[in-house]
Structure 1
């Protein structure tokens, strides 16, 4: 008789944990996704985008326009090389500072 009570108690505990887990998961499901790189751009007011003729380009933020341009070129070279593109053709196509 004691074994049956223990099993019932264990099943209630497991069901309760499952219900709590589902409630917490459902609560987080409605939140919008945030970009992974948003924290790195806090305080940076300038951005630049560089693109190669083939492959992936690079977008970067910086505190000055020249810093953003250099970072975007570095990112373009890195990403174009990884994506099978042409890293030696990277050029900054857009750069500006927010006011």
Structure 2
């Protein structure tokens, strides 16, 4: 069963583009990781929100210790105001299957 993750990054003032640039660098690495089904950046003002979907908890565990995340940390640690807030979500299907869950 797929695992959905939301990661919220709060940059220091004026540094959100630096965070997005770092994701542009690491996204090709992450997209090539086994089990990566979705790894997409979104913004809300200065916040950067990553929405991820992994084929399995094991794939997510490998990702969490992989080269892409290590590179991301090296590129962003100084730009973050607070540590990244990572949420591993449990699916609660509602209504129509295609619309009531992240596919």
TM-score, normalized by length of structure 2?
Answer: 0.30
TM-score, normalized by length of structure 1?
Answer: 0.31
- Report the structure, 1 or 2, having the larger helix content: 1
Structure with larger Rg: 1
RCO higher in structure (CA 8 A, sep ≥6): 2
